[in-house]
Amino acid sequence: MKIFFCIDEAAPLFKIGGLGDVGGSLPKALYSFGIDISLIIPKHPSIMLDQSFAVVRELTVSYDFKTLPVKIWKGLLPGSNVPTYVVEENTYISQNTDASDNHADKFAVFCLAFSTWVHSLAIADKPTIIHLNDWHTAMIPLIDKHILGEKSMKYVMTIHNLMYQSVTTTPIFEKMQMPKEACQIVAWDTQDNNINLLLEGLLHADSITTVSRRYAQEILTDEYGENINEILTLRKKYIAGIVNGLDVDSFNPSTDEALFAKFSSENAIEGKQRNKTALQAELGLAVDENTIVIGFVGRVDVRQKGIELIVEALKQKILIRDTQQFIFLGTGDSQAEIQLHDAANGQERIRIVTKYDEVLARKIYAASDYLIIPSKFEPCGLIQMIANRYGSIPVARETGGLADTIQHGINGFVFKEYDARVMVDALQSAISIGQDRMKKAQMVEIAMKKNFSWDESARQYQTLYESLQTSE
Ligand code: ADP
């Protein structure tokens, strides 16, 4: 059994959010079981490859009447022995150009290049199963089956976030010279000439997974189904929920070089206090180890992450009490970033940092007592797990993977209603429960000792691959 794991992001080579964490850690876990797995990602402009990488194939693909040279680099995912292929193409993928601004074109070319390369491999080198992730890779089965005539491989398609379907009016199938009838565009797509890229993958995959059990149920509902729940319901028997794991080697407070002071569950109270006071000093907050620090880390995505609840609570000055501090780290929607800064303006116990900063994120997990996660929906969510690893208690909306991984009152707290006041009440009630030092210490210990490794979930993927391999 040979697996090709194809994804847009893989830490540490390239990461924007949780997708990058998964791309960098699930293949590692599967590789450690002895599975023949290779990782494949696009060579984004910012990716710098180390000495382990060399070009192993050069080929061309034809797109929009252009002949595009493609290079396939092979090396090891840094920090691991996972064979990694990186696809370079300089008009749409690997350089910042006008053409690469159109994401439909960019990933059409990526999928075309990937499939053309796989098609050219000797039979013994071809994968048995291609594991696709999100819309970026969703065109691969279609290209394989309908342009290249490949019939031998099976496809697992993982939905990391159903909100991102990439609906496009760009005539990508014409540019690829794919016969029109090959494309299973659903009725509304045909009518308005839009192509839903994710849907194409979902329709052609042999198995569909999503990143928590709760989310696997939620996506079949009108509330979370992002307008394709009826189609997903038709494919329900092919859908499984497998919760994401964490790269527990990378996110380990006892070895994390980003921290001011490393610590483990043995010396968590003292270790967290040292990180807290150092971070307070770094951010110009009043330095006091007894101050309750509340953190937020995440993409500033107004449709998903509950940013409006935070803005609302900041505006009303109800998020934190007099003795508490709040540190926000996130970047994304620029309007929302401005709203956050405006809402926090003049509140000296609040820091809003709007940039991507991996080191600061880790410092926040280590320094904070509580992490607020008010997501409207959350397919899995990794920050609650990272928070727990670093002894921080998540206070989160009970949805998706947050509901699956947080046990209320044990390793975190959850609230149901998507409402600023409800969020603040949940946070403040968690803090008052934590005033009992014994109780707080017990929760921190349970949180830090919780097993968030990939072991269990990677086994479930292995079982899925094996069942696909033997199915007709
Ligand atoms: P999503 O996949 O929706 O972005 P997750 O909770 O699954 O959310 O994963 C978020 C990941 O991205 C975590 O590793 C988190 O630490 C990281 N992250 C998000 N925003 C930032 C930021 N501004 N700076 C550094 N790391 C960030």
CA of residue 11 to ligand 1 center, whole Å: 11
Ligand 1 and 364: CB distance under 6 A: no
Which residue pairs, CB below 8 angstroms and at least 24 apart, start in 361-364? 361/297, 361/329, 362/251, 362/256, 362/258, 362/259, 362/390, 363/258, 363/259, 363/260, 363/275, 363/278, 363/279, 363/282, 364/279, 364/295, 364/297, 364/327, 364/329
Flag whether pLDDT at 472 surpasses 90: no
Model confidence band, residue 50 (pLDDT cutoffs 50, 70, 90): very high
Q: What is the pTM of this model?
A: 0.93
Residue-wise pLDDT for 324-357, tens only, equals 999 999 999 999 999 999 999 999 999 999 999 9
CA of residue 64 to ligand 1 center, whole Å: 35
pLDDT of residue 185: 59
Tokens for 298, please give them.
Answer: 């995440």
Site to substitute for ligand 1 among 159, 297, 360, most atoms within 8 A of C-beta: 297
How much is the average pLDDT of 200-213?
A: 95
Check: CB of residue 202 under 8 Å from CB of residue 231: yes
Flag whether pLDDT at 186 surpasses 80: no
Ligand 1 and 12: CB distance under 6 A: no
Given the CA of residue 22, which atom of ligand 1 is nearest to it? 7
Ligand 1 and 164: CB distance under 6 A: no
Residue-wise pLDDT for 435-447, tens only, equals 999 999 999 999 9
Tokens for 336, please give them.
Answer: 């929302």
- β-strand pairing of 36-42 with 54-63: unpaired
Half-sphere CA count of 161, side-chain side, radius 13 A: 19
pLDDT of residue 470: 83
Locus of tokens 């929009």: 64
pLDDT of residue 313: 98
CA of residue 383 to ligand 1 center, whole Å: 7
Residues 6 or more apart in contact with residue 28 via CB below 8 angstroms = 77, 80, 82, 247, 454
How much is the average pLDDT of 233-256?
A: 96
Given the CA of residue 358, which atom of ligand 1 is nearest to it? 25
Residue-wise pLDDT for 365-399, tens only, equals 999 999 999 999 999 999 999 999 999 999 999 99
Residue-wise pLDDT for 147-177, tens only, equals 999 999 999 999 999 999 999 999 898 899 9
Ligand 1 and 266: CB distance under 6 A: no
Name residue 69's beta-bridge partners: 60
Site to substitute for ligand 1 among 16, 161, 162, 382, most atoms within 8 A of C-beta: 382
How much is the average pLDDT of 57-63?
A: 98
DSSP per-residue codes, 162-230: TT---EE-S-HHHHHT--GGG----HHHHHHT-EEHHHHHHHH-SEEEESSHHHHHHTTSTTTSTT-HH
Ligand 1 and 356: CB distance under 6 A: yes
